[in-house]
């Protein structure tokens, strides 16, 4: 049996970086007042089609959707924002405090063509803020991302920032885009042609090279912003500049989901080839209302966890694997029984202790202690028990001490807690 295409195991020998990122991200979110939320992996399909948009790549061709036994249409979540918005509305969080900051980490599912940095089950670290319209929050989210990446020792990243405008400025942009496209229809792919009527903005994220060429000179949302959106974007930019966050204004950045308004951004890397986006985010001031809640501004980002780890691997940022503190070499039934209780007591006290129950020889067990990279070994055979002198050997210095059975565990705790 093998994993499904695009799905993969993350094995214990590769987990250190994942845990390092989780720890650092949790610490940072906590300092910035974000609370963890855990949302289901499975939701009603409608939640995603209504929020992400019917005419997007995700909804049209990438979702894992199926009917359950009762015929309800369900989908494995392709992203987290829609579910978090659903939760905010379902639990009427806006009624007690409309301003909420959430984060979550977990798997997402998209049936894309698998390649390095692109999987069908991938992981995201997600942050969302509800109830704040101020542009300072836009800058702060981008700042948090750059701060996290800095703490993880990442280099070679650039923040691309754009404004997608709001429902007030969108019609003027849409008209300009349709005018531009009108004379170029014969050079667009079928998918783009279909989207002209359904959702013209989505033409801008077509991945087909010939379409990309045609759209190079397409009008940009940035040239059609209303005054409010202009001011908002200006504050985002000056705030980032003042904070020393490097960014590039990227007129062509549109993001592949319909719900974005105003600020949208992506953090890109030069080290991952085609899959260059390590994180993406944006404002979605209409989404809470669209999904049945009160008018509430929202904004958030998602980090591609798999890609982040891949960049860190390339930069060799893996922490050292934690070695074993103590390996127990217990020879004979009596020593094995005592050893079992000692090891549990030591484990309970947070000391990384292991023993082997296969009745192997001293030589074989020494070999195993070396393989597990044990700092110390404890040697307890029949003789040591009779003489009440259990041997503790430092595998690095080769120094040995002997310890009495009755006080063995507290003595060891003292040594390891030093």
What span, in angstroms and rounded, lies between the C-alpha atoms of 274 and 350?
A: 44
* Nearest distance in Å: CB 303, ligand AMP: 6
Among 112, 147, 290, 411, binds ligand AMP (CB under 6 A): 112
* Nearest distance in Å: CB 103, ligand AMP: 14
Given the complex with ligand AMP, which of 159 and 302 has the nearer CB atom? Answer: 302
The yes or no reply on residue 302 touching ligand AMP (CB under 6 A) is yes
* Nearest distance in Å: CB 130, ligand AMP: 18
* Nearest distance in Å: CB 276, ligand AMP: 9
Side-chain half-sphere of 403: how many Cα atoms within 13 Å?
20
Given the complex with ligand AMP, which of 131 and 304 has the nearer CB atom? Answer: 304
* Nearest distance in Å: CB 305, ligand AMP: 8
What residues contact 365, with CB distance under 8 A and at least 6 apart? Answer: 327, 329, 356
* Nearest distance in Å: CB 257, ligand AMP: 7
The yes or no reply on residue 280 touching ligand AMP (CB under 6 A) is yes
Among 17-25, 115-123, 172-180, 235-243, the segment contacting ligand AMP (CB under 6 A)? 115-123
Among 119, 143, 247, 376, binds ligand AMP (CB under 6 A): 119
Beta bridge partners of 303: 125, 279
Given the complex with ligand AMP, which of 235 and 275 has the nearer CB atom? Answer: 275
What span, in angstroms and rounded, lies between the C-alpha atoms of 346 and 334?
A: 18
* Nearest distance in Å: CB 120, ligand AMP: 7
* Nearest distance in Å: CB 385, ligand AMP: 56
Beta bridge partners of 123: 107
Among 205, 250, 306, 384, binds ligand AMP (CB under 6 A): 306
The yes or no reply on residue 60 touching ligand AMP (CB under 6 A) is no
- Per CB under 6 A, which of residues 71..100 are in contact with ligand AMP? 79
Among 34-42, 47-55, 272-280, 367-375, the segment contacting ligand AMP (CB under 6 A)? 272-280
What span, in angstroms and rounded, lies between the C-alpha atoms of 259 and 51?
A: 6
What span, in angstroms and rounded, lies between the C-alpha atoms of 179 and 315?
A: 46
Which residue's C-beta sits nearest to ligand AMP?
Answer: 304
As a three-state string, the secondary structure of the chain is: CCCCCCCCCCCHHHHHHHHHHHHHHHHHHHHCCCEECCCCCEEEHHHHHHHHCCCCHHHHHHCCEEECCCCCEEEECCCCHHHHHHHHHHCCHHHHCCCEEEEEEEEEECCCCCECCECCEEEEEEEEEECCCCHHHHHHHHHHHHHHHHHCCCCCEEEEEEECCCCCCHHHHHHHHHHHHHCCHHHCCHHHHHHHHHCHHHHHHCCCHHHHHHHCCCCCHHHHCCHHHHHHHHHHHHHHHHCCCCEEECCCCCCCCCCCEEEEEEEEECCCCCCCEEEEEEECCCHHHHCCCCCCCEEEEEEEHHHHHHHHHHCCCCCCCCCCCEEEEECCHHHHHHHHHHHHHHHHCCCCEEECCCCCCHHHHHHHHHHCCCCEEEEECHHHHHCCCEEEEECCCCCEEEECCCCHHHHHHHHHHC
Given the complex with ligand AMP, which of 119 and 130 has the nearer CB atom? Answer: 119
Among 145, 206, 279, 374, binds ligand AMP (CB under 6 A): 279
Among 122, 149, 233, 265, binds ligand AMP (CB under 6 A): 122
Binding footprint of ligand AMP, residue count (CB under 6 A): 17
Edge-to-edge strand order for the sheet containing 65-67? Answer: 42-44, 73-76, 65-67
* Nearest distance in Å: CB 217, ligand AMP: 25
- Per CB under 6 A, which of residues 218..257 are in contact with ligand AMP? 256
x/- site string to ligand AMP, residues 3 to 22, per CB under 6 A? Answer: --------------------
The yes or no reply on residue 277 touching ligand AMP (CB under 6 A) is yes
Given the complex with ligand AMP, which of 312 and 395 has the nearer CB atom? Answer: 312
* Nearest distance in Å: CB 49, ligand AMP: 16
* Nearest distance in Å: CB 123, ligand AMP: 8
Site residues for ligand AMP per CB under 6 A? 79, 110, 112, 117-119, 122, 124, 256, 277-280, 302, 304, 306-307
């Amino acid at each position: 049996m093998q994993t499904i295409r695009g799905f993969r195991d993350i094995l214990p020998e590769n987990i250190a970086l994942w845990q390092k990122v989780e720890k650092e991200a949790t610490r940072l979110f906590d300092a910035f007042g974000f609370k963890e939320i855990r949302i289901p992996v499975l939701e009603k399909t409608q939640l995603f089609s209504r929020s992400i948009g019917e005419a997007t790549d995700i909804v049209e061709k990438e979702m894992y959707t199926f009917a359950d036994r009762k015929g309800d249409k369900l989908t494995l979540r392709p992203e987290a924002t829609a579910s978090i918005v659903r939760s905010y509305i379902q639990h009427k969080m806006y009624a007690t405090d409309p301003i909420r900051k959430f984060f979550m980490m977990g798997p997402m599912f998209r049936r894309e063509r698998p390649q390095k940095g692109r999987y069908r089950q991938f992981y995201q670290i997600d942050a969302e803020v509800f109830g704040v319209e101020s542009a300072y929050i836009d800058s702060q989210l981008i700042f948090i991302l750059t701060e996290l990446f800095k703490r993880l020792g990442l280099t070679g990243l650039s923040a691309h920032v754009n404004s997608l405008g709001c429902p007030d400025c969108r019609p003027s942009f849409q008209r300009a885009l349709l005018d531009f496209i009108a004379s170029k229809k014969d050079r667009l792919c079928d998918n783009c042609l279909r989207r002209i009527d359904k959702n013209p903005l989505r033409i801008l994220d077509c991945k087909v090279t010939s379409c990309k060429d045609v759209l190079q000179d397409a009008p940009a949302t940035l040239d059609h912003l209303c005054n409010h959106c202009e001011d908002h974007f200006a504050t985002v930019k000056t705030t980032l500049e003042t904070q020393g966050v490097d960014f590039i204004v990227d007129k062509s950045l549109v993001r592949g989901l319909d719900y974005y308004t105003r600020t949208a951004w992506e953090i890109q890397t030069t080290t991952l080839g085609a899959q260059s986006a390590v994180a993406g985010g944006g404002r979605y001031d209409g989404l809470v209302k669209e999904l049945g809640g009160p008018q509430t501004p929202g904004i958030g980002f998602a980090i591609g966890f798999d890609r982040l780890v891949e960049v860190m691997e390339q930069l060799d940022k893996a922490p050292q694997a934690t070695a074993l503190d103590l390996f127990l070499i217990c020879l004979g039934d009596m020593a094995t029984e005592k050893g079992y209780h000692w090891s549990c007591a030591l484990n309970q006290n947070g000391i990384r202790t292991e023993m082997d129950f296969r009745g192997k020889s001293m030589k074989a067990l020494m070999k195993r202690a070396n393989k597990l990279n044990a700092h110390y070994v404890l040697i307890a055979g029949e003789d040591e028990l009779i003489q009440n002198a259990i041997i503790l050997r430092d595998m690095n210095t080769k120094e040995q001490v002997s310890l009495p059975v009755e006080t063995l565990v507290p003595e060891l705790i003292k040594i390891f807690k030093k």
